[in-house]
Amino acid sequence: MATMSPGATWHGEPCDWNDLWLAIEAHCDCAYDLLAARPTICAAHLMLTEQTTLDHLVHGRHLRAWFVRNEFCADWPCFLFGRRIASGSGPVSQRERV
């Protein structure tokens, strides 16, 4: 778990933290003075201090696979890997698929 401030902790995977950090650095608008100190913090870095925001980002990352899988499924409920994805009722036989 990576810690940004005393009140906010990343509860996701280290690779997700790395992706988030790269995105924040790419969108950083922090103002620096001549001594390379940061007198103002941009919104991207300020987001790292909000525990609720970080938790929502972790939750969204975990749901990503489900959304991608179901976005490209023509049938509903979606049958992938012999399972009924929509209801989560377990394995589905070939007869139930038709």
The answer to whether position 96 is within a domain reads no
What is the distance between the alpha carbons of residues 86 and 89, in angstroms, rounded to a whole number?
Answer: 8
Q: How many domains does the chain have?
A: 1
Q: Is the dihedral of CA 38, 39, 44, 49 positive or negative?
A: positive
The answer to whether position 93 is within a domain reads no
pLDDT digits over 58-91, tens only? 998 888 877 877 777 655 665 555 555 554 444 4
What is the distance between the alpha carbons of residues 11 and 68, in angstroms, rounded to a whole number?
Answer: 22
The answer to whether position 59 is within a domain reads yes
| Range(s) of the domain holding residue 35 | 3-73
6 vs 60, higher pLDDT: 60
Q: What percent of the chain has pLDDT over 70?
A: 65
The answer to whether position 82 is within a domain reads no
Q: HSE, CB side, 13 Å, CA atoms: give it for residue 24.
A: 19
The answer to whether position 90 is within a domain reads no
The encoded tokens of residue 31 equal 């103002």
The answer to whether position 79 is within a domain reads no
Specify the pLDDT at position 51: 93
3 vs 57, higher pLDDT: 57
The answer to whether position 61 is within a domain reads yes
Q: Write down the H helix ranges in the chain.
A: 14-26, 43-46, 51-71, 94-97
The answer to whether position 88 is within a domain reads no
